[in-house]
Chain A
Amino acid sequence: GAGVSQSPSNKVTEKGKDVELRCDPISGHTALYWYRQSLGQGLEFLIYFQGNSAPDKSGLPSDRFSAERTGGSVSTLTIQRTQQEDSAVYLCASSFLSGGGHTDTQYFGPGTRLTVL
């Protein structure tokens, strides 16, 4: 079946502009995550959606970052007034959380490479 898809694959923008990044999770997956991967760094957690619960926004680096998940499926990460330090690969993952959360394997999309000039 289809995996997690993200669009666009690459985005170049000018400092100060707003950008929207899209994630289509695997159908039926209840949880959706956004991560940021900077060059030579690990994955930095940004935000987590689970079902109809309030999202965990604890990883968002500033109030310029926001995300929403419509209808429990597609998610959009928005970065307002982009800065050069926002340049990174933004990865989305989804998982099916069972009651006990025993494995909760996260399946990642290919990412969106954002370059802020």
Chain B
Amino acid sequence: QQQVKQSPQSLIVQKGGIPIINCAYENTAFDYFPWYQQFPGKGPALLIAIRPDVSEKKEGRFTISFNKSAKQFSLHIMDSQPGDSATYFCAARTASKLTFGTGTRLQVTL
């Protein structure tokens, strides 16, 4: 019940494309859903986050879509750039603990 399932495992898009990363969960006690971006050799960094009472949140080129009834949420990256190439992790929080998805390795090509 604590698991967060993330897909796809890897993704290649051309510059300007819109990669979409999906996550699903079972535990209805999760109350906060952040996305983290990780570059090689670095720790993950918070990218954007959403609470379950909101269906969509945008910050710059990054958008989270949240479907509470389906227990799914996704990250969209608009006008993707080569600098967005990184590993992205979704996460879900309960009782101040984060459960992470397995990550999506995104490559944005020229």
- A: which residues have CB within 8 A of B? 4, 31, 33, 35, 40-45, 48, 50, 56, 91, 93, 97, 101-111
Contacts and interface: CB of A to CB of B under 8 A. Distances in A.
Contact of B96 (A91, A104, A108, A109): A104
Given A43-B98, A104-B93, 20 more contacts: A4-B43, A31-B96, A33-B97, A35-B100, A40-B102, A40-B103, A42-B6, A42-B89, A42-B102, A43-B44, A43-B89, A44-B100, A50-B96, A91-B43, A91-B44, A93-B43, A101-B96, A108-B43, A110-B42, A111-B43
Chain A CB count within 10 A is highest, among B36, B44, B46, for B44
Contacts of A97: 96
Interface residues of B, number: 21
A111 B32 CA distance: 24
A91 B49 CA distance: 20
A109 B102 contact: no
Contacts of B96: 31, 48, 50, 97, 101, 104
A103 B45 contact: no
A92 B32 CA distance: 20
Nearest to B41: A110
A45 B49 CA distance: 19
* Nearest 4 interchain pairs by C-beta: A108-B43, A42-B100, A42-B102, A43-B100
